């Protein structure tokens, strides 16, 4: 029975993966789940998981359908399997306020941003840290990678600086690593997390570059049509 339960949990979707399947933001899905609006369950570590069949029924009840199961080739584009690190995930959630405070200090680097900017940045960092912890618990970084790239693409397409999408991931990675060292996390786990953070920052940079190219193409097209 325990083996069947473990097998079922392994097949469940993380918040990021379920959000990608539904075509909504991670923040929206997390809020719906918190309000009891979408079926889900909790792992022993407190992370939300979603069953694909339940999501299909939930969508059908609202007049929608899930997209077809993507091909194996498509999945390779966002492959993100990593070692499952539930203990590390729990440590990040338990210390989320201290980690986010440290990341904010790294980003500021002596500057004094406005209260509004700090509030918005804190909310983003908290969401990113929650997504990261969820990915570590599930052993699957793919949804987190997609979200990082998409948000950075939107940022680049809007013509905004790189500080937010790339700099925030780098700062968060530094803050997370500091905390894990301070509590004596095994070196192997820290190395695995460092590789994951590097991938997230790289995907954010790729998304930012793609967004900027898209913005330039739209601008050039508008000029040629004028």
pLDDT band of residue 182 (cuts 50, 70, 90) is very high
Answer yes or no: do 13 and 81 share one domain. Answer: no
Name the burial class of residue 87, with classes exposed (0-12), middle (13-18) and buried (19+) by CB atoms within 10 angstroms of its CB: middle
Of 14 and 3, the one with more pLDDT: 14
Rounded CA separation 127/27 (Å): 7
Cβ contact 206:155 at 8 Å: no
Domain carrying residue 100: 77-225
Give 104-147 pLDDT, tens digit per residue.
999 887 777 788 888 888 988 998 898 899 889 888 888 888 88
Give 119-129 pLDDT, tens digit per residue.
888 988 998 89
Answer yes or no: do 85 and 110 share one domain. Answer: yes
Q: How much of the chain exceeds pLDDT 90, in percent? A: 21
CATH of the domain at 186: 1.10.490.20
Three-class DSSP category at 116: helix
Rounded CA separation 8/101 (Å): 37
Rounded CA separation 221/219 (Å): 5
If you average pLDDT over residues 172-201, what whole number do you get? 92
The whole-chain average pLDDT of the chain stands at 81
DSSP 11-64: TSBPHHHHHHHHTS-HHHHHHHHHTT-S--EE-TTS-EEB-HHHHHHHHHTTT-
Task: Answer with the one of 29, 46, 69 that is the final residue of a domain.
Answer: 69
Name the burial class of residue 72, with classes exposed (0-12), middle (13-18) and buried (19+) by CB atoms within 10 angstroms of its CB: exposed
Give 48-92 pLDDT, tens digit per residue.
888 988 888 888 776 666 555 443 333 334 457 888 899 999 999
The pLDDT score that the predictor gives to residue 79 is: 53
* Total domains present in the chain: 2
Answer yes or no: do 50 and 160 share one domain. Answer: no
């Amino acid at each position: 029975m325990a083996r069947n339960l473990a097998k079922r949990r392994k097949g469940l979707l993380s918040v990021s993966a379920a959000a990608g399947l539904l075509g909504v933001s991670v923040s929206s899905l997390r809020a719906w789940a918190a309000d009891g609006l979408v079926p889900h369950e909790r792992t022993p570590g407190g992370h939300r998981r979603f069953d694909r069949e339940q999501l299909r029924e939930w969508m059908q009840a609202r007049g929608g359908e899930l997209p077809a199961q993507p091909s194996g080739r498509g999945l390779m584009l966002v492959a993100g399997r990593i070692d499952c690190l539930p203990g590390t995930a729990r440590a990040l959630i338990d210390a989320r306020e201290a980690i986010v405070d440290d990341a904010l200090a790294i980003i500021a680097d002596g500057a004094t941003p406005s209260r509004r900017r700090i509030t918005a940045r804190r909310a983003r960092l908290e969401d990113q840290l929650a997504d990261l912890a969820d990915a570590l618990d599930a052993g699957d970084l793919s949804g987190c990678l997609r979200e990082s790239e998409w948000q950075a693409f939107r940022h680049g397409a809007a013509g905004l600086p790189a500080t937010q999408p790339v700099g925030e991931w780098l700062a968060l990675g530094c803050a997370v690593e500091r905390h894990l060292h301070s509590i004596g996390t095994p070196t192997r786990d820290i190395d695995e997390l460092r590789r994951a953070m590097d991938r997230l920052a790289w995907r954010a940079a790729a998304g930012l570059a793609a967004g900027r190219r898209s913005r330039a193409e739209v601008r050039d097209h508008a000029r040629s049509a004028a």
